[in-house]
Structure 1
Amino acid sequence: MPADVELRTDSADSVESVRLLAAYEAELVSLGVVLNHGWAGGVTPDQLRPPYGAWLVGWRGDEAVACGGVRLLSPDVAEVKRMYVDPSARGAGLARLLVARLEAEAMALGASVARLDTGRDMAPAVALYRSSGYREVEDYNGNPDAGWWFEKDLRSPS
């Protein structure tokens, strides 16, 4: 676990969150992804705060190095959105910690199922989600930027 990073609740439109999301989108574009979505994939900051969602930012000292959110799609289904870890913080388990905390946030909102999507060429993300207990499902949201869709029963141990 990345002992030097603290995950804190924040707003998805805070200065640091916006900076991290811009870095995330720039990285996607550098990988050849043509982005078809608006802010955070059509999700508004209000959907990523209680009582409909949550947003976390990972801090290493005074530097924001990760972010991610969860929003309710229905009373029992939550969707993980815009998970990003800065390259300087990768490889220490922060993404896995972020997934687990977002799942906990989803459960606190009342969800028993978590869904997410990721890009076609995001092999590390696909591996992370599979190893975290997610299983591949059919396209549930019509996201044109996605190539993989996953779901996890939050009531079952991974």
Structure 2
Amino acid sequence: MDSKIKVVKTTSENPDFLSLIKTFDAYLWERYPELKANYWGNNIIELNPNVVVIYRNEKPVACGCFKKYDKIAIEIKRMFVSPEARGLGLAQRILQELELWATELGYSVSILETLHKQQEAISLYQKVGYAIVDNYEPYVDSENSVCMRKQI
């Protein structure tokens, strides 16, 4: 059976987004227990109007969002694809949707931070044009962080 993919632009109040983020946080806490205490403050999502949720066969399986970083740049946040939906190109689809949305709003640069153990994510970001850069605030002194940048 072919899976039906639907992309929805929404906000951080979307219950499907919140559910995916809860699953994402549990995954990260399991993989990085040493960071839970002092790192997760950087991943609190205040009310965000720039959220994408992807549904596969009407089930929410992937998400991402961006927030304004400065006058020309957005920061990609909370990129997650459920384990059962990995390998389908959904992370690339989320990035495309977020980058297009950001350019429509007048931004020309996209930045993001991931963790050094997230080799799959780093490879994906490099594949779609992101380059590793010096860590930006608030990650400057974080040895676990890998920061990346792309012109959009």
Whether TM-score is above 0.5 comes out as yes
Distance 2:83 2:133 in 1: 28
The aligned residue for residue 88 of structure 2 is 92
Distance 1:146 1:56, change over 3 A: farther
Give the unaligned 5+ runs of structure 2: none
Q: Which moved more, 1:25-34 or 1:75-84?
A: 25-34
Does 2:118 align with 1:116?
Answer: no
The one-letter code sitting in structure 2 at the alignment partner of 1:150 is: M
Does 2:97 align with 1:101?
Answer: yes
Aligned 8 A contact 1:72 1:106 in 2: no
What percentage of aligned pairs have identical amino acids? 27
The aligned residue for residue 22 of structure 1 is 22
Q: How does 1:109-148 map to 2 (within 5 A)?
A: 109-143=105-139, 144=142, 146-148=144-146
User: What is the deviation of 1:43?
Assistant: 3.5
TM-score scaled to structure 1, two decimals? 0.85
The aligned residue for residue 64 of structure 1 is 60
Distance 1:12 1:152 in 2: 24
Q: Deviations over 1:1-56 (max 9, x none)?
A: x9622110112122111110010011111212423223x714412xx21xxxx101
Give the unaligned 5+ runs of structure 1: none
3-state DSSP class of the match of 2:12?
coil
Q: Which moved more, 1:140-149 or 1:67-76?
A: 140-149
Aligned 8 A contact 1:117 1:146 in 2: no
User: What is the deviation of 1:146?
Assistant: 5.0
Does 2:42 align with 1:44?
Answer: no
Count of matched residue positions in the alignment of Structure 1 and Structure 2:
146
Aligned 8 A contact 2:3 2:56 in 1: no
Distance 1:140 1:65 in 2: 30
Please tell me the root mean square deviation across aligned C-alpha atoms, in Å. 1.9
